[in-house]
Amino acid sequence: MLDPVLADGQVTFAYEGRDGVRRELEVGFEPHPKRLSHRQATYALKLGPRSAASIEVSFLPRDGAHEPLHVTHDDLERDYSNWRKTCTRFRTSNPQLQQYLDRAVLDLRMMQTDLDGTPAIDAGVPWFSTLFGRDSLITAYQALGVQPELAKGTLTKLAEYQGTKVDDWREEEPGKILHELRVGELAATGEIPHTPYYGSIDSTPLWLLIYGRVWMWTADHAFAEKLWPHAERALAWIDDYGDFDGDGYVEYRKKSDSGLDNQGWKDSHDAIVHADGSIAESPIALVEVQGYVYDAWRQVARVAGALGHTDVAEELDRKADRLKERFNEDFWMPEAGYYAVALDGNKQRVGSITSNPGHCLWSRIIDPARAGRVVRRLLAPDMSTGWGIRTLSEKNPAYDPIGYHTGSVWPHDNSLIAHGMKLMGFDDSANKVIDQLSLSGAYFPAGRFPELFCGFPREEVPVPVEYPVACRPQAWATGATLLMVRSYGGISADAPNRTLYIVRPTLPFWLARSDIIGLCVGEARVDLAIQSHDGATGCQVLRKDGELEVLIRY
């Protein structure tokens, strides 16, 4: 640290990094204080009855040769106003939900990063304010019905960093999509491998999955063609590196001394445990990741067919069929009536009851005949807190309601589970999850879901207990609110065939009407009104611009 510099109502703190970069923070005061040191600013104020005084404190960071941003409040107002105009808008009969949705759209803009002119999504503030693979991609999916261009930008930026070589320090492999990018001093000096770091088992299949979903929402042939070589390399990674032992499942094992022990979305060291609470040994084949791979193959098969790669499309569908059949044999636990969270290094089922199989409802790799048992198990008291579904059953010896992945509640996790329930035909169950999540959100400031909160049951605590160091906002927690609308509305797009599907719209009991304004499907836009009357929900097309058929099925 260099000595602070005081001048003209401001103090500048500076640091010379080991990477040779000088980093500064300029703290300014207006009006100038009576006395100023590097520790405190002292004012002498005289206030009459009912009068007020304002002191403005500004913080201006500088990072080496990069010029600091000089953006006025008016500039931001215009920028956010323009952003809102490009996004789908919402009107609802429930003020609380309206606040969630308005906040979510604004927070998406706040967490948007512009890397070399390409918009993408940062993962969360303050700990993860950078480009991630998994987090950014899931958020892109959640927000597809609101702003598809953000998903395109995220896919494009991640493709630019796609792995090209084998580098165990960074866990890079050809075709692999990154986990996390860092550009600070530790990354620049090689103290950490995040330049970028590739230790994520699900980023690559999720990239493929979202690539296919963007096609279904936009039918953008030029975009699909541009990214097709990256899709081919990602598909090759699944076969050549993801399934590194040739057993037919994508699995992970840490290769970097500074890497993550667990490389799914539950990436804390103690996240994957057996029924007795002991930590599972790697390599680990996660249940939800097999679902992501299955759905990725299905989605990319559609794109491949549209681009004229018929042989590729047919092969991907065959591989998906084989994976689904084997998955439902190998991961199903007959005695528990549920799916194992993983297969461990000995190819044995990891038998703990977790939220992970809920994602398999979303990917639809689950045998439909077993889906009801999965749904009921997720909503059982040891998993469902009343505020949302836990990551781990409270019956497991490793359960900890304030554990990061061992009993807490994650809004994004719940949103994907509810979405999967809806897709598999369990409308009322999906709304139960939405009800719980919406109720919990009422207790968090500014209509903003945190990254996670503690898993204490609602009958024991009058309000949801905050996780002490959770990010807020967190991108995929923000996206959870947006995906709830797609879920209760039963909304899906088939832009290549100029069709929007509204399947069994079912509003939660606390919501009488939900309007969706300017929903973009391909080149068309549509306004919808979903209304509930006497326990029945209906949908009406209010306005339509462009060629689009809206099919409503009850």
Residue 222: other Cβ atoms inside 10 A: 7
Question: Is position 305 within any domain?
Answer: yes
Sorted by sequence, the CB contacts under 8 Å of residue 56 that are 6+ apart come out as: 29, 30
Domains held by the chain: number: 3
Name residue, tokens 């994508």: 250
Residue ending a domain, choose from 489, 523, 541: 489
User: Beta strand 22-30 with 56-63: parallel, antiparallel or unpaired?
Assistant: antiparallel
Least confident of 2-11, 164-173, 259-268, 362-371: 2-11
Residue 495 lies in a domain: no
Angle, vertex CA 307, rays to CA 301 and CA 309, nearest 5: 60
Q: Annotate 275-319 with three-state secondary structure.
A: CCCCECCCCEEEHHHHHHHHHHHHHHHHHHHHCCCHHHHHHHHHH
- The CATH code of the domain that includes 253 is 1.50.10.10
**Count of residues making up the chain:** 554
pLDDT band, residue 72 (cuts 50/70/90): confident
Distances in Å between the alpha carbon of 265 and those of 276, 278, 396? 22, 19, 20
Residue 68 lies in a domain: no
- pLDDT of residue 373 exceeding 80: yes
Residue 68 pLDDT greater than 80, yes or no: no
Q: Are both 292 and 343 inside the same structural domain?
A: yes
Domain shared by 333 and 382, yes or no: yes
* Residue that is last in its domain, among 63, 82, 107: 63
Structure tokens given for 348: 């044995």
Give domain status of residue 518, yes or no.
Answer: yes
DSSP string covering 467-519 = PTT--SSBHHHHHHHHHHHHHHHTEEEEGGGTEEEEES----TT-SEEEEEEE
101-135 in b/e form (b: 16+ CB < 10 A) is bbbbbbbbbebbbebeebbbbbbbbeebebbbbbb
Residues 202 and 303 in one domain: yes
Residue 78 within a domain: yes
Q: What pairing do the DSSP bridges indicate for beta strands 112-115 and 89-92?
A: unpaired
User: pLDDT tens digits, residue range 387-407?
Assistant: 999 999 999 999 999 999 999
Side by side, which strands form the sheet with 349-350?
A: 285-286, 342-343, 349-350
pLDDT for res 65:
65
The answer to whether residue 335 is domain-embedded is yes
Q: Are residues 534 and 387 in the same domain?
A: no
How many angstroms separate the CA atoms of 323 and 316, rounded? 10
197 vs 201: CA distance, rounded Å: 12
Reported as a single tens digit per residue, the pLDDT across 475-512 is: 999 999 999 999 999 999 999 999 999 999 999 999 99
Q: What is the DSSP letter of 240?
A: I
Q: Are residues 509 and 477 in the same domain?
A: no
Q: Are residues 506 and 526 in the same domain?
A: yes
Strand partners, 30: 56
pLDDT of residue 39: 95
- Of 38, 63, 88, which one is at a domain's C-terminal end? 63
What six digits make up the tokens of 518? 């300017």
- Write the single-letter amino acid at 116: D
- Structure confidence by residue, pLDDT tens digits, 266-290: 999 999 999 999 999 999 999 999 9
Distance CA 184, CA 454 (A): 31
**Shared-domain flag, residues 242 and 291:** yes
Structural domain range at position 538: 502-553
* Judgement on whether residues 445 and 530 belong to the same structural domain of the protein: no
Do strands 332-333 and 338-339 pair parallel, antiparallel, or not at all (unpaired)? antiparallel
Same domain, 54 and 97: no
Q: 241-257 pLDDT, tens per residue?
A: 999 999 999 999 999 99
pLDDT at 63: 87
pLDDT(229) > 90: yes
> Does any domain span residue 399?
yes
Nearest CA among 411, 422, 553 for reference residue 487? 422
Q: Is residue 496 part of a domain?
A: no
